[in-house]
Amino acid sequence: MDHTDLYSEPESAHVDKRQQMKESVQLRIDARKDALHSLSRDIWSCPELAGEEAHAHDRLVRFLSQDDDDAWTVQTHYVMPTAFRASWGPVAGGEGGPVLNVGFLCEYDALPGIGHACGHNLIAEVGAAAAVGLRAALEKQTELPAPVKITVLGTPAEEDIGGKIELIKAGAFADIDLVFMAHPAQQDASSLPCVALDEVSVKYRGRASHASASPWEGVNALDAAVLAYNSVSVLRQQLKPEWRLHGVIKHGGVKPNIIPAYSEMEFYLRTPRLKDLCDLKAKAEGCFRAAAVATGCQVEITYPSAAYRDILPNATLASLYEMNGRLLGIQFPEQPDNFSGSTDFGNVSAVVPGTHPFFYIGTDAANHTEEYADAAGAEKAQLYTLRTAKALAMTAVDVVCCSDLLRKVREDFSLAKLKQQK
């Protein structure tokens, strides 16, 4: 990326102050590195599923509550039982005006059976570290363009219902102006095009009977699930290359000698843009309903949670992050042509300007594997995690210090929303 046009000429006089603030970010995060590693390791050692993250919630609240003499105002069990909200500031700006509220997001739910194989313990660490780093840069400032406040949101259940969506509905982002988080991956990237996601639950109901003595009396719900699953597999040949449709049979019966009266499947549907999900949902539902007709079962199709939106990119924030990351030694290889991950941060990006970079943690293993879970808890990941937190906080420093950059960020946000609607 070309960073030469990020700073206007009049801003050059403030570069020294900004550099000093960025050094304060790095010094504070380095000073807290042991406490941050302990925070991450504690969350990693006690993996909790979506909505059940009581230990992670308490551990993050304790970390922020103990940061420099209770500097943070913390609301526990905020909106959701395992969400929280911590705030600091505002620091008075020399020009007054509305408060600029900078948000950092922490995720901390684990995966069933394989723990923190998506590295959410490191997301929590990055959010907490970036917040305390930015606070160190701001705490003695009196001549900022506007008063600045920092908010840390604990956002549970990303792997299930999308905790951020629930927080959006409750107004948690209404007073936040910028939002930052970063996610572990196989390489560093200032931005990747996360795709839209919807979850569908499919339940078939038939009639039980003895599978040997009188199978003709039964209506086989498992047959319906198997037929639907195979139909979806055949459908993939006709799907666009970047569309994804994958699922599991969660319930298929209880004993071989009983015709299953009930079966249940769960599928994820993904497309690059939210509006494309409607087409994919129609095709998938055709498979599900056809299987019911073929087997004589009743079918119930539901969408248990709100769809995850694709992330709205913010070119200014991504470019600033990459610039700051390079100063810290982060290398940004060429981005992959396709990326099929999804996140409820996409919904946040539709209501607040933000950025969601990805960071290497010292392994080439894929997310959602046992190998990646091991890497997320390893000490080796700390170098990469903390420098990511520094780069996020340093990016925030750039924006809060420069009205022109803030204007560009907001312009990018408006343009991305218009483009998404087309």
Report the SS3 class of residue 170. coil
CA distances from 183 to 116, 122, 376 (A): 12, 8, 11
Q: Locate the domains of the chain by residue range.
A: 11-194+310-421, 196-302
pLDDT at 5: 55
Distance CA 252, CA 265 (A): 9
Name the residue type at position 299. V
Give φ, ψ of 196 to 5 degrees.
-75, 150
Q: Is 359 exposed, middle or buried (0-12, 13-18, 19+ CB in 10 A)?
A: buried
Residues 345, 313: contact at Cβ < 8 Å? Answer: no
Note the maximum CA span of the chain: 89
Contact 313, 193 (CB under 8 A): yes
Share above pLDDT 90 across residues of the chain, in percent, rounded to a whole number: 87
Measured in whole angstroms, the distance separating CA 397 from the mean position of its chain's CA atoms is 22
pLDDT bucket at 68, cuts 50 / 70 / 90: confident
**Residues 165-184: pLDDT tens digits?**
999 999 999 999 999 999 99
pLDDT tens digits, residue range 236-294? 999 999 999 999 999 999 999 999 999 999 999 999 989 899 999 999 999 999 999 99
**What is the rounded distance in angstroms from the CA atom of residue 220 to the CA atom of residue 228?**
13
**Cβ neighbours of residue 258 closer than 8 Å, sequence gap 6 or more:** 208, 209, 210, 211
Q: What length does the chain have? A: 422
For strands 148-154 and 73-75, give the pairing.
Answer: unpaired
Peptide bond into 241 cis (omega under 30): no
Structure confidence at residue 419 (pLDDT): 85
Determine the CATH number of domain 196-302: 3.30.70.360
CATH of domain 11-194+310-421: 3.40.630.10
C-alpha to C-alpha distance for 312 and 192, rounded to whole angstroms: 10
Half-sphere exposure of 286 (CA within 13 A, CB side): 11
194-230: pLDDT as tens digits: 899 999 999 999 999 999 999 999 999 999 999 999 9
- Contact criterion met (CB below 8 Å) for 3 and 190: no
Residue 9 pLDDT more than 50?
Answer: no
